[in-house]
Amino acid sequence: MTSDSDCRSWFSSADLLTKDASAPVALLGAPMGLGSITPGGCDKAPAVVRAAMKRMSVYDLETETDLSSLRVFDAGDVDISTLQPAESLTPIVTALAPLTKKHDLSIVLGGNNAITRPCAHALDASLQRVGVLTLDAHFDLRDTDCGLTNGNPIQALLEDGMPGAHIAQIGLLPFANTKKAHEKAKAAGIYVATAAACKAQGLASIAANALERLAARCDVIHVDFDIDVVERSAMPGAPGARPGGVTVQEFFDATRLICAHPKVRSVDLTEFDPSLDVAAISALTAARWVCEVLAGFQKR
């Protein structure tokens, strides 16, 4: 006889999280809230995303992808919620670097976009072996003379010594960036694809081209998924999102393709501010993103 509790059971993506450190994938929270150009509550995102994962199943009926046998080591959160970006480099690298060595893929839940710099450092302190792909409406090439913020992690990486040819940025929006930032990207040799190019050719196709370019130059790749790359009407919880961004489905398709690439060793999700969300739209999108990451990884 089926019990009442059995009828209400639901094996969710949150049930994939484990404290078993032998799992092939790791998840780390990086609740950085300080240093944002637009102050908010991005530090609350890791907990909200984990909670929203309870509303996602582990089965994709469209592709018959079943994640139920996969496990994800939940390494908890780095204690950085009261730290500025410059102070957070060492704690994040200390927590993340061992995970990237032990696990085939490490997922980092931000937090604002300033976490991308330490994520790259965690893969290789010299930055000479690392490639960085960003899905972002913005270049994040603001000057660093006034300090590190969520608006300049790519500029900071260039100043740290990462070659510009090791960076690819896709999904960039008009009237969301400056001419100065664009000129910086050109001068550094960064691969750039606008939102219009991504729509014309497909975000996943552009991502595949960017990965091919990076993989030819780099041993390992970190991918920054800044959710403000998504159309603002579909992403109310992203303070930097603007009209004209990519669709949610394009975002998911690109995520799965990217995470199937064997040189992608770490990914982050940034710029989700739960305090701005409406009807859990952004939270559920972020939770679905985690599922797409895992579906891509499972295809390796």
How far apart, in whole angstroms, are the C-alpha atoms of residue 135 and residue 281?
Answer: 19
Tell me the pLDDT tens digit for each residue of 223-248: 999 999 999 999 999 999 999 999 99
Query: Is position 273 within any domain?
Result: yes
Q: What is the pLDDT of residues 171-198, one digit of tens each?
A: 999 999 999 999 999 999 999 999 999 9
pLDDT for the residue numbered 165? 98
Q: Is 50 exceeded by the pLDDT of residue 126?
A: yes
| Per-residue confidence band for 10, with pLDDT thresholds at 50, 70 and 90 | confident
How many distinct structural domains can be found in the chain? 1
The answer to the question of residue 6 being in a domain is: no
Domain range for residue 273? 11-298
Answer whether residue 278 is part of any domain. Answer: yes
d(CA 295, CA 300): 9
* pLDDT at residue 5 greater than cutoff 70: no
- State the pLDDT confidence band at 6, using cuts at 50, 70 and 90: low
- Mean pLDDT for the stretch of residues 52-67: 98
pLDDT of the residue at 163: 98
Banded pLDDT at 1 (limits 50, 70, 90): very low
211 in a domain, yes or no?
Answer: yes
Per residue in 98-120, is it b (16+ CB within 10 Å) or e — as a string? ebbeebebbbbbbbbbbbbbbbb
Query: pLDDT by residue (tens digit) across 96-109?
Result: 999 999 999 999 99
User: Does 4 map to a domain?
Assistant: no
Please report whether residue 5 resides in a domain: no
20, part of any domain: yes
What does the pLDDT average to over 77-91? 97
% of the chain exceeding 90 in pLDDT:
96
pLDDT value at residue 9: 74
CATH of the domain at 143: 3.40.800.10
Q: Residue 178 falls within a domain, yes or no?
A: yes
* pLDDT of 8: 66
